[in-house]
Amino acid sequence: MDFIGCAFNQISNMVAKTHYLWGAPAPLVLRGPSGGYVHGGPFHSQNPEMWFVHNPGLKVICPATPYDAKGLIKAAIRDNNPCIFFEHKYLYRRIKGEVPAEDYVVPIGKANIVREGRDLSIITYAAMVHTALEAVEVLKNEGIDLEILDLRTVSPLDREAIARTVKKTNKVIILHEHSRTGGLAGEIAAIINEEAFDDLDGPIIRIAGLDSAVPFSPPQEEHYLPKVSDVVREARRLKAF
């Protein structure tokens, strides 16, 4: 996915508009690896999903687990709309899970509560789901109970699930790997403002990558990308607000 920009015109100006222009379905699935934490540098660590989230006519999918990866790829293949399927390269050979042999699909556009919690919500997707789960292990010893909402699909967004988790915990952190400016957190914050503003008991917190190319140097990459310690720090601050 680092080089998907080479086909940007064909994807954004052609296939995304096919149905709108002349009513023809475009059952195309574009899948490939994305993401950092592998010391791949600026050309092999990118998260370009927002280029396409802003593009009407495309569905953008970012699974975090083997179960969801199978169910969502099947749903994408059976969908008459063009789907872009981001597979986070850091999760390859790192995250294991049960995958039923039988046929099943995971609905596109439906988020999933990975962990129920009461004190604050973390809204996230892809590899950051596992960063949030690691933070749970630290914070539960301090009596801070996190709820984790895995979006699974970043376009279309599950507005109802976003509002529901905020209404439940009243405090929210939005966590994503790609750069902060123009990132998905801004859109989710707007949804919360529209759907659950009166339920907030604290500021909406964004944790994201820096506004820079992804560094090649491992220490610099670690500084650039969101970490468990970032989630722990901001969760402590928000809980005390």
Among 19, 39, 44, 223, the one annotated catalytic? 44
Beta-carbon contacts of residue 64 (< 8 Å; ≥ 6 apart)? 88, 91, 95, 114, 125, 126, 127, 128, 129, 130, 150, 152
Beta-carbon contacts of residue 98 (< 8 Å; ≥ 6 apart)? 66, 67
Q: Which two tokens stand for residue 97?
A: 């899970």
| Residue 44 is a catalytic residue | yes
Q: Which residues are catalytic?
A: 44
